[in-house]
């Protein structure tokens, strides 16, 4: 994984880019926390978790059979290492999941998916279709052509993908990879591509890279602009600083966790544009269904008629998926999603014999597949329609989310459980898509800042000691959400209030233990961890160099615009002619004025303050702090005419974001 010299300029390009730094120094010395290790489950938590055992059909073991069906071989030790010896994947830390008894600190339904996601290795899906599962968060599918193999979605890291191919070749004929297909624009579906093929072979035309329309732009854009915030929030979603264990990280819903190797990207050579489009690769017929705006902005399903197999990309999995992702992202449209599944049913429902996705295990036999597709479709449609019905009755997001109950016939299917999305936060996504952040109550139109409000709330409630005393009573009654609510005010009014921090951490922890959804669990347990230990100052996140290299100049300039410190820049007016020697369009006219950076491609000013000629890579290197403007000029990579100080201004006016900002404390 590429790391810039400074953490201040960072492009988060991944939904999953986090790295658990368990030895990170996290203790905030200004807070005297006495109990910072995880605690037992309370009786309330045990009762809530136990209730799941009678509410859900645990006798139905079909998924365990399906998840093992076609198993050929696993990695000998469950560990994948980078060239320098760093462990980038290790399933051994999850050996606690082999226990016969479910720990009372883990929701039984979560325990179930966490065990299912331990199935790992090479699997046969059907003749000529194989899958690598459990070597990363996602699956890699290998399809055997006449002379070579076609790889669908080469995992997150180069190292995982290579380990997967090695495992495949140990058990199947060593035929070359003739094509790679990316089903969609998320990093867990392309990042390992250079573990499977080389960019030289792609450039030489020996390997095709097939992707849906809009792939490249979406792959690099989704998290660039809000990248720093999203990266920090992703630490909560995936439990980045939690130890794996019964009181820590257990699973990530779509898989165990993300691998930590090198993220790579090779640009597509073949773009798929329309539903019904066909392509034959090395004797394998493919028919495509476009599904943009469903799980990803650029996504497609692939039907393989010779094998009666449907690759569902990530639109059909063994969980209710996210309409909103807790790390933060633009919300997804349930209306587009149910329609995509419906089209797949209409087109292939009468003939498909196996559906495989790029997470979890396949579904076999038409009689099982069609009800599965229908009920996944129906859950999205139900959440969409009923959220809107309740919104139209005047309910606000919190009320909508509490009110929606998906019918049991749909909701109790294991593949519809909320292991990644949840009915609660997905219905809020519907509200957000249609009505946005404001609930129309003017008391919420211009709310008071959190710290100011917290101080007044605590004062109104009789002071911190009184609030903590009452919250302790609530804790003893199992009212953990109330404790979290009350202690949020006390902690924000005074983050040094140790009693409040400890009590809120204890409440978060019990809430975490109760969650069926591993991302909700991770959120709560990360909150508890940081209240007890402070925020880790170890920073993470990076962009892969491949991704930055394919980023268009427009996007780089957008990024520089949003890093610009508006107040400091507001009294400057500077014009730049920029000529990029390594990209097209080559010429940009750029203006800094009124605190904003405005650019127009294919234009040059007749008279600019500075004219600079450089490769995009030099601009990135200066921006990231890897070099300075002067050094870049000395090295001959950058030439300029006009006022150099005014170019320097552009860089010195860039803000550098703290990747480890506070969340549960002000």
Residue 138 or 228: the one with the smaller Cβ distance to Zn ion is 138
- Residue 17, token pair as written in the block: 């880019």
For Zn ion (CB under 5 A), the number of binding residues is: 4
Q: Rounded to the nearest whole angstrom, what is the least distance from the CB of residue 153 to Zn ion in the complex?
A: 8
Site string for Zn ion, 187-226 (x = CB under 5 A): -x--------------------------------------
Q: Which is nearer to Zn ion, 186 or 501 (CB)?
A: 186
Residues 301-320 that bind Zn ion (CB under 5 A): 314
**Rounded CA gap, 291 and 294, in Å?**
6
- CB 426 → Zn ion: shortest distance, Å? 17
Task: Give me the 133-172 binding string for Zn ion, x by CB under 5 A, dash otherwise.
Answer: -----x----------------------------------
Q: How far is the CB of 110 from Zn ion (least distance, A)?
A: 19
Q: Which residues, other chains included, contact 489 with Cβ-Cβ below 8 Å and sequence gap of 6+?
A: 453, 454, 457, 458, 461, 467
Closest distance to Zn ion from the beta carbon of 296 (Å): 8
- The separation between CA 368 and the C-alpha centre of its own chain, rounded to angstroms, equals 30
Nearer residue to Zn ion within complex by CB, 137 or 242: 137
119 vs 611, which CB is nearer to Zn ion? 119
Q: Cα(301)–Cα(340) distance, rounded to whole angstroms?
A: 9
Sign of the Cα torsion 268, 269, 273, 278 reads negative
Measured on CA atoms in the order 123, 125, 129, 131, is the torsion positive or negative?
negative
Query: Closest CB to Zn ion among 186 and 232?
Result: 186
Q: Which is nearer to Zn ion, 210 or 653 (CB)?
A: 210
188/546 with CB nearer Zn ion:
188
Handedness of CA 213, 219, 221, 223 (dihedral sign): positive
User: In the structure encoding, which two tokens stand for residue 607, read together?
Assistant: 């008279």
Nearest to 464 by CA among 493, 427, 441: 493
Buried b (16+ CB within 10 A) or exposed e, 484-518: bebbbbbbbbbbebebbbbbbbbbbbbbbbbbbbb
Output the smallest distance, CB 186 to Zn ion, in A.
5
User: What angle in degrees, to the nearest 10, is found between the helix axes of 518-533 and 498-514?
Assistant: 160
Smallest gap from Cβ 155 to Zn ion, in A, equals 10
Residues 6+ apart with CB under 8 A from 85: none
H helical segments located in 305-365? 334-348
Q: How far is the CB of 190 from Zn ion (least distance, A)?
A: 10
Strand partners, 304: 309
Tokens of 298: 């650029």
Q: Alpha helix (H) ranges present in 69-123?
A: 108-116
Q: Please, what is the angle between helix 108-116 and helix 518-533, to 10°?
A: 110
- Taking the complex as a whole, the smallest distance from the CB of residue 604 to Zn ion amounts, in Å, to 43
Q: Of 138 and 536, which CB lies nearer to Zn ion in the complex structure? A: 138
Please tell me the distance from the alpha carbon of residue 106 to that of residue 250, in angstroms, as a whole number. Answer: 8
H or E element in which residue 355 lies? strand 354-356
Between 118 and 474, whose beta carbon lies closer to Zn ion? 118
- Minimum distance, C-beta of residue 94 to Zn ion, in the bound complex (Å): 19
- Give least dist CB 358 to Zn ion, A: 6
Stretch binding Zn ion (CB under 5 A), from 90-98, 111-119, 132-140, 649-657? 132-140
Segment contacting Zn ion (CB under 5 A): 178-186, 382-390, 403-411, 497-505?
178-186
Report the nearest approach of Zn ion to the CB of residue 314 (Å).
5
CA nearest neighbour of 384 among 437, 438, 421, 413: 421
Which span sits near Zn ion by CB under 5 A: 186-194, 326-334, 372-380, 432-440? 186-194
Tell whether residue 262 is a contact of Zn ion (CB under 5 A): no
DSSP 244: B
Here's the x/- map for Zn ion, 352-371, by CB under 5 A: it reads as --------------------
Q: Quick one: which H or E segment has residue 488? A: helix 480-493
Mark 386-425 with x for binding to Zn ion (rule: CB under 5 A) and - for no binding.
----------------------------------------
Name which of 255 and 268 has its Cβ closer to Zn ion: 255
Smaller CB distance to Zn ion: residue 254 or 344? Answer: 254
Task: Give the footprint of Zn ion on this chain (CB under 5 A).
Answer: 138, 186, 188, 314
């Amino acid at each position: 994984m590429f790391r810039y010299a400074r953490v201040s300029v960072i492009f988060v390009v991944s939904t999953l880019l986090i790295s658990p730094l368990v030895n990170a120094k996290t203790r905030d010395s200004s807070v005297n926390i006495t109990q910072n290790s995880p605690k037992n489950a309370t009786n309330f938590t045990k009762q809530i978790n136990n209730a799941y055992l009678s509410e859900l059909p645990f006798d139905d073991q079909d998924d365990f059979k399906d998840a093992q069906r076609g198993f050929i071989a696993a990695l000998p030790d469950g560990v994948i290492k980078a060239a320098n010896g760093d462990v980038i994947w290790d399933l051994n830390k999850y050996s606690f999941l082999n226990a016969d008894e479910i720990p009372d600190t883990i929701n039984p339904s979560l325990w179930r998916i966490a065990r299912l996601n331990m199935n790992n290795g090479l699997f046969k899906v059907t003749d000529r279709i194989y899958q690598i599962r459990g070597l990363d968060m996602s699956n890699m599918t290998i399809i055997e052509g006449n002379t070579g193999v076609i790889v669908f979605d080469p995992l997150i890291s180069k190292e995982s993908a290579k380990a997967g191919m090695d495992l495949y070749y140990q058990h199947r004929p060593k035929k070359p990879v003739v094509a790679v297909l990316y089903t969609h624009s998320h990093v867990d579906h392309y990042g390992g591509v250079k573990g499977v093929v080389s960019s030289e072979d792609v450039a030489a035309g020996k390997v095709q890279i097939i992707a849906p329309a809009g792939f490249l732009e979406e792959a690099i854009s989704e998290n660039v602009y809000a990248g720093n915030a999203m990266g920090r929030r992703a630490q909560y979603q995936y439990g980045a600083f939690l130890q794996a264990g019964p009181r820590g990280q257990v699973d990530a819903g779509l898989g165990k966790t993300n691998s930590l190797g090198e993220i790579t990207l090779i640009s597509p050579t073949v773009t798929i544009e329309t539903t019904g489009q066909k392509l034959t690769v090395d004797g394998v017929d493919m028919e495509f269904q476009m599904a943009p705006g469903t799980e990803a902005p650029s996504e497609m399903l692939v039907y393989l008629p010779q094998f009666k197999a449907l690759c569902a990309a990530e639109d059909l999995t063994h969980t209710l998926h996210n309409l909103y992702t807790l790390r933060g992202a633009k919300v997804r449209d349930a209306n587009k999603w149910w329609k995509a599944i419906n089209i797949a049913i209409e087109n292939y429902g009468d003939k498909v014999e196996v559906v495989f996705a790029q997470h979890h295990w396949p579904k076999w036999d038409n009689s099982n597949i069609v009800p599965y597709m229908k009920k996944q479709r129906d859950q999205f449609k139900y959440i969409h329609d009923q959220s809107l019905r309740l919104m139209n009755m005047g309910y606000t997001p919190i009320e909508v989310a509490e009110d929606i109950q998906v019918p049991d016939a749909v909701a109790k299917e294991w593949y519809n459980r909320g292991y990644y999305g949840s009915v609660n936060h997905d219905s809020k996504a519907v509200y957000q898509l249609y009505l946005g952040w404001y609930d129309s109550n003017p008391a919420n139109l211009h709310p008071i800042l959190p710290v100011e409000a917290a101080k007044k709330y605590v004062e109104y409630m009789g002071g911190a000691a009184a609030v903590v005393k009452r919250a302790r009573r609530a804790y003893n009654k199992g009212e953990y959400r109330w404790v979290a609510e009350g202690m949020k005010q006390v902690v924000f009014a005074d983050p040094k209030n140790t009693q409040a921090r400890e009590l809120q951490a204890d409440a978060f922890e019990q809430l975490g233990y109760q969650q069926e959804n591993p991302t909700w669990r991770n959120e709560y347990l990360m909150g508890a961890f940081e209240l007890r230990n402070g925020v880790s100052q170890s920073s993470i996140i990076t962009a892969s160099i491949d991704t930055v290299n394919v980023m268009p100049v427009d996007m780089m300039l957008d990024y520089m615009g949003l890093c610009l410190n508006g107040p400091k820049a507001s009294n400057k007016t500077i014009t730049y002619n920029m000529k990029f020697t390594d990209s097209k369009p080559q010429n940009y006219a750029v203006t800094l004025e009124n605190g904003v950076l405005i650019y127009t491609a294919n234009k040059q000013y007749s008279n600019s303050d500075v004219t600079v000629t450089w490769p995009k890579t030099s601009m990135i290197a200066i921006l990231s702090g890897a070099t300075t403007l002067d050094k870049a000029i000395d090295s001959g990579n950058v030439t300029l005419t006009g006022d150099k100080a005014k170019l320097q201004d552009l860089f010195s006016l860039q803000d550098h974001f703290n990747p480890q900002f506070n969340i549960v404390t002000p």
